[in-house]
Structure 1
Amino acid sequence: MDKPDKVCGKVLHGIARRGMSGSEPPNPADARTAAAFIDRMAELRLWAGKPSLRTLNRLGGTTTSPTGAATDALPTTTVSWVLAGKGLPRLPRMAFVESFVVACLTAGGESPEEIPRHLGRWRAVWQAITASAATDAGARPVRAYHQLPMDLPEFTGRQAELDRLGALGEAVEDATAPVVVTISGVAGVGKTRLVIHAAHRFAAGRFDEVQLWADLRGFHPEEAPAAASSVLADFLRLLGVADHQLPDGLDARAALYRDRLNGRRALIVLDDAATADQVRPLLPGTAGCLVLISSRRRLTDLDGDQTVPLVNFSTEESLRLLRWHAGPDRVRAEPDAARSVATLCGHLPLAIAVTARYLRSHPALSLTDLAGRLATDQRQLTGLSPHARSVRAAFDLSYRALPPGHQRVARLLAIHPGPDFTAPSVAALTALAESTAQTVLDDLLDEHLLDETAGARYRMHDLLRRYLTLQTQREDAQSEPHDALHRLTRHYLDRARHATNLIHPTETRRVTTAPSGPAPWQSPSEAVAWVEAEYDCLVSTVRRAAELPDAGPALAIELVAALYRPLANRGHSADRIALNDLAARLARQHGDRRAEAQFLEDLGTLYGQVGRAGEAVGHSYRALAIWTELGDLTGQRGCLTDLGNSCRQQGDHDKAIEYLQEALAISIDSGDRQGEASVLNFLGLTCQGTGELDAATEHLARSAEIYAELGNRLGEAIALANHGWALQRSGRPREAIPYHERSLEIFRALNDRYNEAEQHWGIGQARHQLGDTGAAGRHWHTAIKMLRDMRALDDEQAAELLTQKIPETPELIRLNT
C-alpha cells in the first residue's frame, strides 16, 4: 500500500469499504474547508472500493487544455498528492474534482442516472468553500503553488521559439534530469513576455501541479540581484515548509528545496537572471521538472542548460503587434509608414508596444507623422547604439506626451524601493491622494509604461527606470527624490506602527509614537498579510533610508523597530538579523544609546531563535550593559528575562532561575507590573522543568492575575495556558481543561492562531488522559490542521500526525510549553 493510501485510511470517519452493497456514496455537505473537502474525496474513493490510481486515471478520461492539447484529467501523481493533503489548504480545480467524483462513482457501481445528482452536491460544496475562501482572504496564510504572473492577451509572434520551447517541454516526459532552458537576449526584446506566455501554455496541461515564479532582479538599476537564499525561502514556504523549520544556510535550503520537489511535476520560472551562480541553487534535482530562465546573458556554464536565443521581431511580427495596439485599419492604410515605424523602433517588442500605445491614444496622428517624429528624435540621439536609440526614442515619445503631473509621478516611480509598488505607496512617494495616484497608475499602465501583477501591484521595466532616472538628472530635480523617499519611509513606518498595535498591542518600547489616523486593517492577520506582501519593499526602504541625508537614518532606525513584532515568526531570520544589525550600527553612529541597546537586545533574541547561542548571549550582555549604564530598569529586566528563558530552553534551570529572580526583583522594586507578570510566567515554566509543580502553578496564577488587572489579554491568556500545562504535568488533567479553554477563548478573540492551536492540543492531551479518546482526537486534529495551515507544521508532518491514533506532540509545542 502506498503512502497516500495509508494517509487516507487513517483520517476517515468510520466509513466502511465498498463491500457494503447499496450504501449511499459519501456526501460532502458537511465540509467547510479545503482540508475537510479533500478528506471527503478520500472517503469517496474508499467507498468505491479504493480503486487504484491507474484505474482512476483510466476512468477519469481526458480533458482539453487551453492550448488545445488532450491531457489526463486525473494524473496519478496529482491524485496521490491531493489525497495525501499535499496541496492543502488549496482546493483542487473543479475539473479535477468532477473527473475524480465521476471516476469513483463509476468504479463503485453507481448507476449513470444517479451520477449527475451526486456530482451536483460536490460542485455546490466546492463553490461554497471557494466563495468562503475569497471572503476570508488574508485571514490566514494559504500556500499557493500557482505563482505565474498573468499572461498578456496581446502576445504575438515568436512562433518558432514557442515551437522550440514546446519540444523541450515535451522532452521532460522522458528526461532523466530536470530540463533547464534559458531564453536570452538584449533588454527590451521580450524575454519576460515569452517566458511567461510559454509557462502558461505548459502549466495548462503537464505542469498543473506546481508552478513557481521569481523575479531575480539580475539587472535592476536600483536593487541588488535577488539572493538565491531568499528566493529559496519563499519557494519553500509555498511548498509547505514551516517558517521555523527554514534552514539558514544556502546549501541546506537548496537541499530541502530539491527534496520538496522530488517526484513532483514542477514548472519553475526564473525571470531576469544575472549569473549561473544565482540560478544554480534554484534548480530541482530530479526528473519531471521544467525550469524556464530569462537572462540578458547566455548562461553557458550552467550544466545541462539549453539556450533559446531571442532576437528582434521580424517585420511581420512587428506589424502584427502594431495592428493589435493601433488597429488593423490604420496599419493597412499606411503600410509603408507602418514598416518605417517598426524599423525606427528597431523591431524591439518593448519599443514597438510603447510607440503603438502612443499611436492608439492619438487617433488623429498618422503613421507617417509618427515615423517622422521618431526619425527626428533619433537623429538627435548621438553617441548611442541603434538599440539604445530605438528604445530611447520610443520612451521620449510617450514621456513627452504625458501631462507634467504624470511625468513627475513616472520619474519618482523609478526610485521606488523594491521590485514593485501599490497605489498607497505611490501616493506617499508622490504626495498625492491615493485615488489620484491610482488614476495615474492606470494611465501609465494604458501607455504600456507599467505592468500590473497580482494583487493590484505594479512593476516598471528596468530600461524605463534607467530612462526616467536620466530624465530626473536632466530636469535638475535631484532634491525631490530625497523628499519623496522620506515621505515613503514615513508611510511605511506609520503602517508598521499600525501593524504592531494590532499584532502586539502592549508594545511600547519599540513603538513610542502613535500611528496617524485609523488602522488600515481590522485584524492582526490582515496586518501580517500586508507585511508579507510589502516585505521586499520594506527591506529595500530601510536600506535606502539609511543612506539618505537629514532624517533618513533616524527613519530607518524607527522602521526596523516598528517591524520587529510584525515580522516575528515569519521565517525571515537572516534578513531580520541583518536589519537589526544595521539599525544598531546606525544608532551607535548617531549616539542613540537607547535604540542601540534595544536592537542589541533584539539581536540576542533573534540569534537565539536560530540556534546561535554564543552570539545570542553576547548581544544580550552588551544590551544589558547599556541598559545598566542608562539606568533603564525595564531594559535590564528584559535582558535578564531573555537570558533566563534561553537557559531554560537549554536545560540549565538553575542559571535560568538565577536570572529570572534578579529580573523579578527589578520589576517589583521599580513597580513594573507588566515586567513582573512576564517574569512570573517564565518562572512558572522553569519550575515545571525542575519538577516544582506547585511553585509553577503559583507563579502562573499570579502572572495571569496581574495581566488581567492590567487589561493585557494576551499576557493573561499565555499565563492561563501555561497554568493548564503545569496542572497536566501535576497529573490533574480535569483541572487543566478549564485553563486551556479560557485561554483558547481569548486567543481566538485575538486571532492568535498558533496559541489557539496549542490550546486545542492541550485539551486533547487532557481528554486523552481522562479516557475520552473521541474528544481528544477531535482537538488534536483541529490543532494539527491549524498548525499546518499557518506553516508551523509542514504538509508531510501534518499528514503523518493525522495518521497516528495518539499523535506525537510537535517539537514547536514542546519548546513553548
Structure 2
Amino acid sequence: MTASLDLSLRTLPQRTRDFLVSLARHPGTEFDAPAACALTGVGLPTARRLLGDLYEHHLLAEPTRGRYRFHDLVREYLRGQRSGAAREESDDGGVGHLLDHYLHTARAADRLLLGDRSPVGVPEVIAEPRVMEPEFTDAAEARAWLETEWENLAVAARHAEREGFHGHAMALPAALLEYLRTSGDNTLSLELQTVAVRVATAHGEPANLACALTDLGHVQTLVGQISRARENLEPALELIGVEGHPQARANSLLRLGIVLRLVGDYGGARPLLVEALELRERSREPRGSPRYSTSSGYSAPGRVTTETLSNSRRVPSSSSVPPATRSGPHCPSITGVSLVGSTPTTRPASPTSPRPLRSTRPTATAPERRSPSSGPPWWRHGPGICPMRSTI
C-alpha cells in the first residue's frame, strides 16, 4: 500500500501534492471546497480544480457531489509525510483558518435561526475566513448547511479544546446550541456545552464561564437533569452579579426560575421571574442587534418576552399551591411561564411515530445517532422538548 501511494504522489505536480498533504490535517471525515480553501490557503477556484484532480487520481472519494473524504489509510499515510518541525510551523495557521471558517459560517447560520435573540458573553473570536462562502439568504439555507456540517462543527470544537484554540472551543458550542435544540440532539449538545464549561473554567473570563454554565444548565433542563441544571445556573447568576449585563441577568434569572418551578419551589421562582421581566423591560434591544458580544454576562439563546414573564406575576406562593400534576417523572404540569426559545420546528403526528432527528447520510465512521425513544419519557413528543413546553 505504501509503495503504491508513493508512486501515486510522485506522478502529481508539486502544488497538487502539497495541497493533498495539507488536506490531511482536516480533523473531520468530510469537507467541501470552502473548507479546503480555508485549510490549505489556495483560492476557491483553485481548490475546486485540485479537488477534482485528486478525485480523478482516486486519492479522494466524493460520496456526494461537492463533498470529499479520504480513505483512512491514505489519510494516515499523508500525515506521516510531513516532518515534525514543518507540521508544527504550518498546522496552527491552516487549522486556525479552518476553525475561523467553521465558526464564522456557523454564527451566520445561527443568527438566521435565532432571529432577534441576542446572547452576550460569548467569547469574541475574530473569525477571518479566507473565503466568504457559503452565504445564506434565509433560515432554510442556514439549517441545510448545519444539517450537512454539524459533525464537522462538533469535531472542530473538540479539536479546538485539544489544540489550545480556547476561544473557538467556547464559541462553537454556543453557535450550535439552537440548532441542536431544535434538532433534538441534546446528547451532543450536553457534550459540547461541557467542553465550553471546561475551557471557560480554565482559560475564560467570568462572562465566558457564565455563558457556558447557562447554556449547559439550559440543556440539562431540557433533558430532565433538573438538579444538575440548578447546580450550574446558580453559580452562573452569581458570576453575572447584580451589576452585570441586564439582559444577561434577565436570562439567567429566567432559566433558574424555570428550574425552581419544576421542583415545586414557586415562592423561590416568583421573585426571580419578576426581576427578569423588569430587567427585560428596561433593557429591551432593537431587532437585529449584534448576536455576539464580550459584554459582562450572558443572554442564553432564547428570548425573554414581556408576555412570557408577565405571567409570572400571577404565580401564587408555594404555600397556596398544591403539588404539581406530573405528566412524567421530570415534567411537572405548570402554567403561567413559557420556556424561552422552545418553539419546535415541527410536531410529530403521534407519540408512537416520532419524526427522525435529522437526515444524515450514513458513512463508515459516522457516530450512531440517538433515536427519540432513547431520551427522557417526554422525548417522543418532539425534538428535545417537554410536552408541556407551552406552559413551562
TMscore range, shorter length: 0.7 to 0.9
Identify the match of residue 657 of structure 1 among 264, 267, 270: 270
Q: With structure 1 as the length reference, what TM-score do the two structures score?
A: 0.36
> Which structure has the bigger radius of gyration?
1
The answer to whether 1:392 aligns with 2:2 is yes
Q: 2:102: which partner in 1? A: 492
User: How many Å apart are 1:630 and its aligned residue?
Assistant: 6.9
User: How many Å apart are 1:562 and its aligned residue?
Assistant: 2.1
Q: In the aligned structure 2, how far is the partner of 1:558 from the partner of 1:660?
A: 28
The answer to whether 1:816 aligns with 2:379 is no
Q: 2:365: which partner in 1? A: none
User: How many Å apart are 1:513 and its aligned residue?
Assistant: 7.2
Q: In the aligned structure 1, how far is the partner of 2:226 from the partner of 2:114?
A: 26
Identify the match of residue 36 of structure 2 among 401, 404, 426: 426
Amino acid of the structure 1 residue aligned with 2:151:
D
- Same amino acid, percent of matched pairs: 28
Q: 2:291: which partner in 1? A: none
User: How many Å apart are 1:547 and its aligned residue?
Assistant: 2.7
Amino acid of the structure 2 residue aligned with 1:530:
W
Amino acid of the structure 2 residue aligned with 1:462:
D
The answer to whether 1:588 aligns with 2:214 is no
Structure 1 spans left out of the alignment, 5+ residues:
1-390, 691-724, 727-751, 759-782, 797-808
Q: What CA deviation, in whole Å up to 9, does each residue of 1:687-745 have, x standing for no partner?
A: 6876xxxxxxxxxxxxxxxxxxxxxxxxxxxxxxxxxx99xxxxxxxxxxxxxxxxxxx
Question: Relative to 1, partners in 2 of residues 1:567 and 1:501: Cα closer, same or farther, differing over 3 Å?
Answer: same
The answer to whether 1:534 aligns with 2:149 is yes
Q: What CA deviation, in whole Å up to 9, does each residue of 1:117-154 have, x standing for no partner?
A: xxxxxxxxxxxxxxxxxxxxxxxxxxxxxxxxxxxxxx
The answer to whether 1:546 aligns with 2:164 is no
Q: In the aligned structure 2, how far is the partner of 1:643 from the partner of 1:574?
A: 21
SS in 2 for 1:452: strand
Aligned runs of 1:483-632 on 2, under 5 Å?
483-506=93-116, 507-509=118-120, 510=122, 520-549=135-164, 552-628=165-241, 631-632=244-245
User: How many Å apart are 1:598 and its aligned residue?
Assistant: 0.3
SS in 2 for 1:522: coil
Amino acid of the structure 1 residue aligned with 2:236:
A
Q: In the aligned structure 1, how far is the partner of 2:10 from the partner of 2:277?
A: 67
User: How many Å apart are 1:515 and its aligned residue?
Assistant: 7.5
User: How many Å apart are 1:684 and its aligned residue?
Assistant: 4.4
User: How many Å apart are 1:652 and its aligned residue?
Assistant: 4.4
User: How many Å apart are 1:439 and its aligned residue?
Assistant: 1.2
Q: 1:416: which partner in 2? A: 26
CA contact (8 A) 2:253 2:276 kept: yes
The answer to whether 1:448 aligns with 2:74 is no
Q: In the aligned structure 2, how far is the partner of 1:598 from the partner of 1:426?
A: 31
Q: In the aligned structure 1, how far is the partner of 2:222 from the partner of 2:256?
A: 13
Q: What CA deviation, in whole Å up to 9, does each residue of 1:472-500 have, x standing for no partner?
A: 12794431122111010000011011011
The answer to whether 1:672 aligns with 2:246 is no
Q: 2:309: which partner in 1? A: 683
Aligned runs of 1:329-344 on 2, under 5 Å?
none
Q: What CA deviation, in whole Å up to 9, does each residue of 1:760-799 have, x standing for no partner?
A: xxxxxxxxxxxxxxxxxxxxxxx849x966759x999xxx
CA contact (8 A) 1:511 1:561 kept: no
The answer to whether 1:644 aligns with 2:257 is yes
CA contact (8 A) 1:653 1:686 kept: no
Q: In the aligned structure 1, how far is the partner of 2:199 from the partner of 2:343?
A: 35
Q: In the aligned structure 1, how far is the partner of 2:372 from the partner of 2:191?
A: 30
Amino acid of the structure 2 residue aligned with 1:408:
D
Question: Relative to 1, partners in 2 of residues 1:688 and 1:431: Cα closer, same or farther, differing over 3 Å?
Answer: farther
SS in 1 for 2:15: helix
Q: 1:228: which partner in 2? A: none
- Bigger RCO (CA 8 Å, 6+ sep): 2
Amino acid of the structure 2 residue aligned with 1:520:
E
SS in 2 for 1:453: strand
| The structure with more helix, counted as a fraction of residues | 1
CA contact (8 A) 1:497 1:515 kept: no
Aligned-residue CA RMSD in angstroms?
Answer: 3.5
Structure 2 spans left out of the alignment, 5+ residues:
286-298, 317-334, 337-341, 359-370, 374-380
CA contact (8 A) 1:653 1:689 kept: yes
Question: Relative to 1, partners in 2 of residues 1:438 and 1:518: Cα closer, same or farther, differing over 3 Å?
Answer: closer
Amino acid of the structure 2 residue aligned with 1:487:
H
Question: Relative to 1, partners in 2 of residues 1:657 and 1:476: Cα closer, same or farther, differing over 3 Å?
Answer: closer
The answer to whether 1:460 aligns with 2:70 is yes
CA contact (8 A) 2:254 2:272 kept: yes
User: How many Å apart are 1:433 and its aligned residue?
Assistant: 2.0
Aligned runs of 1:92-491 on 2, under 5 Å?
391-473=1-83, 476-491=86-101
Q: In the aligned structure 1, how far is the partner of 2:372 from the partner of 2:158?
A: 35
